């Protein structure tokens, strides 16, 4: 009975987060400066009938209740509404871009974790922190994602996977380095090293099991960080993913698309956290 109650609580929390995301996104868009104006109304290419239609559309958007009810009712037919910019169902826009973004994030996270784990193992093996390992990570953290992507683009070297890998690896390395340095000083590890156990065996049999909960939390943080870097990376490198779609939707006040993208990101972060908590509880049991 207890696992069922825990599962229901997690589902309820996920639904609540999704609802708050939808409400917050709608509020931000509705009260953004110039939301009820449309530049096309001043375009001479549009006739009087088109201007009247645009004015009517703006009038319908003046009520938060109408905006929410319109978008929620559009979700019931399974298409997630109609894109204002492209005039096609939102689901047709999201699905192909979801695969592109998922592949980009997966490759970046795998490469970043591989780089961060190797670097932190080498760095934490010494007695004192070395600037050789600390300075590169600090410099990468100080450089904005958009600036890093712009430099790679202008230099003609690297791409979106490299930028996101360096960003994630720098953040993960800081966490892993501190974690491993503390783990190496545990009394049982000091005794095991004195008895001559090899480093690979110590890492596999002692260190990884002891820091598994922290690694699961770091995995969730990596997903959140990758999602935060999607928009500048995909826009600068012209990657046809969810980040670029969200940027175009924000520039064109395309509320259905923005709601769909933010909902997907909220669900991804929530499920990552739920999976991390669930795995930790299962391991603890």
Q: Domain residue spans in the chain?
A: 90-284
Measured N-to-C along each axis, helices 242-251 and 212-236 cross at an angle, to the nearest 10 degrees, of 50
Q: What are the CA-CA distances from residue 50 to residues 42, 81, 87, 185, 255 (Å)?
A: 11, 22, 15, 72, 20
- What are the pLDDT tens digits along the chain (285 aa)? 666 777 677 778 777 877 787 777 777 776 766 665 555 555 556 555 555 665 665 555 556 666 667 666 666 666 677 787 787 888 888 999 999 999 999 999 999 999 988 888 888 766 565 666 677 777 888 888 888 888 888 888 778 999 999 999 988 888 888 888 887 777 776 677 677 777 777 777 677 777 777 888 888 888 888 988 899 999 999 999 999 998 888 887 777 888 888 888 888 887 777 666 655 444 444
Quick one: CA dihedral 123, 127, 132, 133, positive or negative?
positive
Q: Can you give the pLDDT at residue 103?
A: 93
Rg (CA), the chain: 24
Q: Which CATH number fits domain 90-284: 3.40.50.880, 1.10.3720.10, 1.10.540.10, 1.10.10.10?
A: 1.10.3720.10
Tell how far CA 281 is from the center of its chain: 24
Q: Are 145 and 232 in contact (CB under 8 A)?
A: yes
Q: Are 209 and 202 in contact (CB under 8 A)?
A: no
């Amino acid at each position: 009975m207890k696992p069922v109650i825990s599962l229901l609580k997690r589902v309820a929390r996920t639904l609540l987060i999704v609802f708050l995301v939808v409400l917050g996104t709608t509020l931000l868009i509705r009260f953004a400066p110039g939301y009820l104006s449309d530049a096309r109304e001043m375009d001479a290419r549009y006739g009087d009938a088109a201007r009247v239609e645009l004015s009517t559309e703006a009038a319908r958007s003046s009520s938060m209740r109408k905006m929410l009810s319109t978008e929620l009712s559009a979700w019931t037919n399974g298409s997630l509404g109609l894109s204002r910019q492209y005039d096609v169902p939102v689901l047709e826009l999201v699905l192909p871009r979801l695969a592109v973004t998922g592949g980009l994030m997966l490759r970046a996270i795998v490469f970043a974790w591989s780089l961060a784990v190797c670097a932190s193992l080498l760095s934490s093996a010494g007695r004192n922190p070395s600037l050789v390992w600390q300075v590169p990570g600090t410099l990468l953290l100080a450089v904005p994602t958009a600036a890093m992507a712009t430099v790679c683009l202008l230099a003609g070297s690297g791409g979106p996977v490299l930028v996101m890998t360096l960003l994630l690896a720098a953040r993960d390395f800081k966490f892993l380095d501190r974690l491993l340095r503390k783990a190496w000083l545990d009394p049982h590890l000091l005794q095991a090293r004195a008895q001559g156990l090899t480093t690979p065996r110590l890492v596999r049999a002692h260190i990884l099991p002891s820091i598994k909960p922290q690694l699961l939390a770091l995995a969730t943080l990596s997903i959140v960080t990758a999602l935060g870097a999607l928009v500048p990376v995909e826009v600068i490198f012209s990657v046809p993913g969810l980040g670029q779609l969200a940027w175009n939707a924000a520039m064109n006040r395309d509320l259905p698309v923005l709601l769909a993208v933010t909902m997907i990101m909220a669900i991804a972060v929530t499920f990552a956290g739920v999976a991390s908590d669930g795995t930790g509880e299962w391991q603890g049991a």
